[in-house]
Each structure stands twice: as C-alpha cells, then as structure tokens.
Structure 1
C-alpha cells in the first residue's frame, strides 16, 4: 500500500471531478493535500470532513496568485513533494470560429496554468529526496479531438512540457508524467451534453452516447480510476516511471 504520510501535495482544480478524486486518493494514503480553485466555498465544501484536505483559493491563470498561493501553502505545511497540475477548461470550437480571446483563454488555463503551478512547486521540491509532478492532460493531447483544436493544442503542449522537464531533471529524485483520460464521468461531461445537444440538435441521451462511443470500452471512466493512477505514480516504487503519458481510455488510442 502506498504510504504518503508526511508528504505535502497540491492539486489544482481540486474542488471537484478528477482533481478531487486525485486529492482524496493522495489524502487516503496519508498526504496533506492543498486543493486549489477559484471559489473558496466550493473547496471548503469538498474538504469538509477530511482533515488532510486544505482549501486554497488560487487562480492558475494569474502568476502572482499561483506564486503567493503555493508559497503560503509551503509555509503552512512544508515543501511541496507532489504537484498535480489538473486545473483546466474543456471547450470545443471550430477553428474558423476561434478568435484570439478564446484561444488565449484555453491556453492561459490549460497550459500556462500547468507551467506556473509546476514551476512554483519545484522551488521547494528541489530540496527533497523525493518528488512527483503529474499533469492531467487528455487523450486529446495524444490523438487530437475533432472540433476542439485549441483544447487539443493546449493538452499536447502539457505533454511536451512534461517530457521536456523529465529530461531536464533526469537522474534526480523527481519524476514527471502526464495522465491522459478520455471522457470521465464529471460535471464537464454534463456540460458537454448540453453543448452537443444544442449544437447537433440531438437528445441528451444521444449527446451522451456520442462521447461514450469515443471511449474504447464504451463507458464513461470513473474519476476514481484516474485517482488510482495518480496514486500509483506517487508510490516510491514508481520512481522509474518518468516522462510518460498514462492513457486512461479503455483501450489503445485510436
């Protein structure tokens, strides 16, 4: 069983969905987990009843917010041993309808946010003899997603960042990996059902099945499955898993 006792972790976008599932997995293994998001009340609700979850209002698109937030968390609970850059937005738009404002919104959250979170976490992690950096990318970062070029590009960028850092820190006691889920049963899927229904003129069930059909095993992935993969990457015995894309898609990327 993975023992993360006395390890300090941060999970951005930790108030719901994949982020919360990962945070709970790490906390269940003994880690103190700082969970971040823009809405403190939502984070407090997610952390209620678990003394190992520590809410922190932080905007990953704001450099000062990330730097100050992580520095404050480190001062309160010690060096950051585990960094999970999970915060992101999943929105699709045809390229010819993609203006620069939309493009920058996607990049600022998904790619800039991962960069800032990882950079600031590494400042204290460098002093430790153990470190784990995990970025939550997407299967869209491996194969691309039709109708979502900005999102796909941002998630490809996250994988490139992880691979480069794994080379930069090669031989040191910190690993860098990306988790790449397909469609996970979270609020994002619910929002996408509404968007697909309105755009394609189909029923809610038909819209849902359009997403489910993209998962190779033809079902939605449970967020706890992603949490389990993150926990495995954090195990001290996983120190030779580095620079990898862990695809959670029910089969090989098509």
Structure 2
C-alpha cells in the first residue's frame, strides 16, 4: 500500500513546521517546501528521527510558476500523488495604510494569496488523482476581521478565504475538500516580528508587547503552533469528509464563526 503524501509550503518554521511534524506523525510522507534549505533540512531531520518520511523541496518559491511546477513534479515522482496539500507560506509585514507602498502590497498579495492560487492550481490534478484529497489553506483571523497596520495582510487573507470557499463549491461533487484554518496571534517567529514592531513604535518592552497580543485572545494567551496543526490534522482525516468550504478560527474565541 502506497503511503499517503502531504505537501506543505512554508514548512521550515512556525505553523508550517508544526503541521509537517503532525502529518508525518500520523503516517503521511511529507514534502517540505520553502525557499531555504537549512530550516527544511532541520524539519526533515526531526521527522526522520521520529521514524517518519520527508522530502526537502528547497528553492520552492510560491510566487514563481516554474519553481512551483518543478517542485510539485519532483514531489510526485518521489512520494506519489498528493493527498493533502497545505498552503502555509506567508508574510505579515506591518505598515500604516498610508505607508503601504505598491511594492509591499504586491509582495504580500503575491505570496499570501496569489501563491496559494498558483500552488493549488498546479497541485490539483495530482490531488484529484490521489483520491479523497484534502486542501487546507492557512489563512488567519485577519481574513475574518480587520486589524490596523496590516492592511495588505488582511486583504490577502480575506482573499484566501474567498478562494477557499469558491474552490470548495467547484469541487463539492468530487472527493476533494477545501478548507481554511484561521489562527489568531500564534507563538511563532512571525509574532516575534510583530512584537519587535510594537516595541519600536510604542516604546513598550518586548514582554509588554507580547502580552498586548495575548490579550486579544479571550483566553488571555497566544495560540500554539501545535493547536493549529491539530486542526489541520483533523481536516486531513476521514472524520472531516463532510467539512468543506469552511474558515475555522483557532483563536480562543477572539473571532466567533467563520
């Protein structure tokens, strides 16, 4: 029996790393996609040490069609058709709307939204062939509400959720489901950048800045990457066969409903 195959973009750190480790621990072979080899190699080493199977696809640029097509072809040749696709690559730079120039806007939309579109479009034939496929897009509570100083990020994640819902309906009569997971403020390197920005602009200490982000969660804490990964793992399982077109918040009640 061929091992099921998951492909995860942005797999080198944070939420992507946690998702890759969770999928591998559940018995899937995992293709680890990202631009830099070193963090992907480190994740592969963790997976292999735990008895799992992983493949590194470095130089995988979600904004470059040729890079995507080459990477997916290599992944399929090494591990078979893709049964679980997780789009996790993303950026969240901070700027006021008035200081958000076109270059920043295009970069964020290109990675977060267009990248999700390009990877999904390239991988979908393989997902269809695999049967009982799962596509999970890592969006954000920023795709369900608004936050100041991240207008490009909010716009991109709203777009990811819209894309998720449209594709889910197109594929509803197939055996492929499409869902979005929407983390709130999560304890990852991405949040470290937000903490640094808040500290620099407000004069608050990093500890105070981190606490202010945690207070956005009614549970009074940051979400853990593992909690996001567990949600993806459930969506990838047989138990979630009837779940499609959903935007699921993982945010301690910060956003109610999807």
The TM-score by the shorter chain falls in which range? Answer: over 0.9
Match of 2:174 in 1: 172
Q: Paired residue for 1:50, among 47, 50, 72?
A: 47
Q: Paired residue for 2:6, among 9, 12, 26?
A: 9
Q: In structure 2, what is the Cα distance between the partners aligned to 1:41 and 1:133?
A: 26
Q: Deviation per CA, 1:168-208, whole angstroms, max 9, x where unpaired?
A: 11111000000000011111111211111001121111111
Match of 2:233 in 1: 231
Instruction: Give the secondary structure class of the aligned counterpart of 1:241.
Output: coil
Q: Deviation per CA, 1:136-194, whole angstroms, max 9, x where unpaired?
A: 00000001212211100000000000000001111110000000000111111112111
Match of 1:63 in 2: 65
Contact kept in structure 2, 1:114 and 1:158, CA below 8 Å: yes
Structure 1 portions without partners, runs of 5+: none
Contact kept in structure 2, 1:20 and 1:46, CA below 8 Å: yes
C-alpha spacing 1:49/1:203, structure 2 compared with 1 (3 Å): closer
C-alpha spacing 1:45/1:202, structure 2 compared with 1 (3 Å): same
Q: In structure 2, what is the Cα distance between the partners aligned to 1:28 and 1:201?
A: 42
Q: In structure 1, what is the Cα distance between the partners aligned to 2:8 and 2:45?
A: 16
Match of 1:103 in 2: 105
Structure 2 portions without partners, runs of 5+: none
Query: Does 1:32 find its partner at 2:33?
Result: no
1:97 offset after TM fit, Å?
Answer: 0.6
TM-score by length of 2: 0.94
Give the RMSD, CA atoms, in angstroms: 1.4
Q: Structure 1 residue runs of 4+, over 2 Å off?
A: none
Instruction: Give the secondary structure class of the aligned counterpart of 1:50.
Output: helix
Contact kept in structure 2, 1:5 and 1:29, CA below 8 Å: no
Contact kept in structure 2, 1:81 and 1:131, CA below 8 Å: yes
TM-score by length of 1: 0.96
Q: How does 1:1-254 map to 2 (within 5 A)?
A: 6-51=3-48, 52-57=53-58, 58-253=60-255
